[in-house]
Amino acid sequence: MKNLVFINGTMGVGKTATSKELQKMLPNCVFLDGDWCWDMSPFIVTDETKKIVIDNISYILNNFISCSEYKNIIFCWVMHEQSILDDVLSRLNKHNCILYKFSLVCSEQSLIARITKDIKQKIRNKDVIERSVPRLKNYFEMDTQKIDVSNISAKETAEIIYTRVIG
């Protein structure tokens, strides 16, 4: 059996940093960040581009699942609605996988502080705060295990996930 670990959360909450830390801990591990399948300039959100992104994510994850070398597969992406998470999962050949679904959540103050730090480092634009904060509440309602990252690092978050997956 393989471990299929989904990590979602609003922009700036620490999904990528946590996933990279978790990848170091899990043996025979591969990591896909959904943003890598959505990296375009200019950034255009249409039904057509959304379909391409979901198709690409599903294709890559299914390839990872079918590869005998990988025992742990990490996927992170915003997935701010349950329907997006369900759509991706419905396309996967997960019969030989144990599925773990985590939502990284935090206080609004913590989120703004994290994004502000990223803005200062020129990793994000200021408009991310306006888009990210309103979506935060969505993750509390999803069919996932919640991890409050308000006062912990990406490494500490990864350790929590590791314990729940391996533990």
Residues 30-65 have pLDDT tens digits of: 999 999 998 888 888 899 999 999 999 999 999 999
Q: What angle do CA 3, 7, 9 make, to 5 degrees?
A: 170
CATH number at residue 45: 3.40.50.300
E strands, 42-94, are 72-77
Contact 74, 26 (CB under 8 A): yes
Q: Identify the three-state secondary structure at position 34.
A: helix
Element (H, E) at 2: strand 2-8
List the structure tokens of 66: 């079918």
Based on the structure, what is the number of domains in the chain? 1
Task: Write down the pTM of the prediction.
Answer: 0.95
List strands edge to edge, sheet with 29-33. 29-33, 72-77, 2-8, 97-105, 145-148
Tell me the mean pLDDT in the region 3-9.
98
At 118-154, the pLDDT tens digits run 899 988 988 899 999 999 999 999 999 999 999 999 9
Domain that holds residue 52: 2-166
pLDDT value, residue 39: 87
